[in-house]
């Protein structure tokens, strides 16, 4: 179990990046969803033991990551948002180098055999002898995951892993992450709603360094039942619609504005019909509500209290 309690981080300036974050995360995939600058990377770095908080605590299976990070390093795997590779090394050489830096031992096999096994697990066995500079973005991310899972950690922290990946690479990466989450805690930080929709059995929304929502996808959708409507609107009408309602989506489809609205009360605008809520709707509604409140107050559903697995 990963326990985050009253976590605060203030940078010089002062800039408060985290404002009392509380989360309890059990086995499986947990998503941390929020816009750029919300505090996601700061939180990921603290959980990974790379950054000291101003106050608060982080424990993994009862071990204090903040006070004694060296005691939990063997249980942790971390894939940062920007992971540097030596482009002229092959995938096998790069991973072997990273394992040596991490001090990962392979008592039952040679390190080279362990490297090959890790590359196979992330689908890079056929590219082991290719230079990293020839790898696509998705292949580099999978190489990063290979180093993160070395040593069989209990917690894997991945920060914005699908940013910049094309659809095919993203789906391949989803499969890798889903498999990893079957036997351990995977903490996924992202600003992409689809990542959470596809992968996570539970997620939190962070805004301005505060957790403003902690829920399961099913419960987040259920809270909006009967209040999401979809229709088409003229460009000139979009401003008025977004003023009167929370607009959760407005995209061009065959040169027409397809719009989704959260209607808090009263009838929907003419021409709009009820639609099935999705995680994108829940995210946009919560962001709008927290913005209007000014000082967001965490919304905890039953999931936060009873479904951490």
pLDDT in tens, 72-101: 777 889 988 777 789 899 999 999 988 888
Percent of the chain with pLDDT over 70: 93
Class of domain 2-216+297-306: alpha beta
Dist. CA 91–CA 100, nearest whole Å = 14
Q: Which residue has the tokens 């690479």?
A: 169
Query: If pLDDT is split at 50, 70 and 90, which confidence band does 307 have?
Result: very low
Q: Where are the domains of the chain?
A: 2-216+297-306, 221-292
Comparing 43-52, 82-91, 227-236, 270-279, which segment has the lowest mean pLDDT? 82-91
The pLDDT of 289-303, averaged and rounded, is: 50
Entry pTM: 0.85
Residue 258: per-residue pLDDT: 96
Mean pLDDT of 165-190: 89
- Give the pLDDT confidence score for residue 58 in this predicted structure: 95
Q: Which of 8-22, 36-50, 81-95, 107-121 has the lowest mean pLDDT?
A: 107-121
């Amino acid at each position: 179990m990963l326990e985050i309690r009253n976590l605060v981080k203030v940078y010089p300036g002062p800039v408060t990046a985290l404002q009392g974050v509380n989360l309890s995360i059990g086995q499986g995939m947990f998503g941390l969803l929020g816009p750029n600058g919300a505090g996601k990377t700061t939180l990921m770095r603290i959980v990974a033991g790379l950054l000291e908080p101003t106050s608060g605590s982080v424990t993994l299976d009862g071990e204090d990551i903040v006070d004694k990070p060296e005691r939990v390093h063997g249980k942790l795997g971390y894939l940062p948002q920007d992971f540097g590779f030596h482009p002229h090394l092959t995938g096998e050489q790069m991973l072997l180098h990273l394992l040596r830096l991490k001090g990962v031992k392979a008592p039952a096999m040679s390190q080279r055999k362990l490297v090959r096994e890790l590359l196979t697990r992330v689908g890079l066995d056929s590219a082991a002898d290719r230079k990293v500079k020839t790898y696509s973005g998705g292949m580099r991310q999978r190489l990063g995951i290979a180093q993160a899972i070395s040593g069989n950690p209990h917690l894997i922290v991945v920060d914005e892993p699908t940013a910049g990946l094309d659809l095919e690479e993203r789906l391949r990466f989803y499969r890798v992450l889903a498999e990893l989450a079957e036997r351990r805690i995977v903490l996924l930080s992202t600003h992409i709603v689809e990542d959470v929709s596809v992968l996570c059995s539970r997620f939190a929304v962070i805004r301005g360094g505060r957790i403003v929502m902690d829920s399961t996808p099913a419960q987040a959708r259920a809270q909006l039942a009967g209040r999401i409507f979809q229709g088409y609107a003229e460009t000139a009408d979009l401003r008025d619609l977004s003023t009167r309602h929370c607009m959760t989506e407005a995209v061009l489809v065959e040169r027409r504005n397809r719009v989704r609205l959260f209607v808090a009360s009263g009838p929907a605008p003419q021409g709009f019909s009820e639609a099935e809520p999705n995680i994108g709707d829940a995210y946009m509604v919560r962001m709008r509500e927290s913005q209007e409140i000014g000082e967001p107050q965490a919304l905890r559903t039953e999931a936060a209290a009873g479904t951490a697995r």
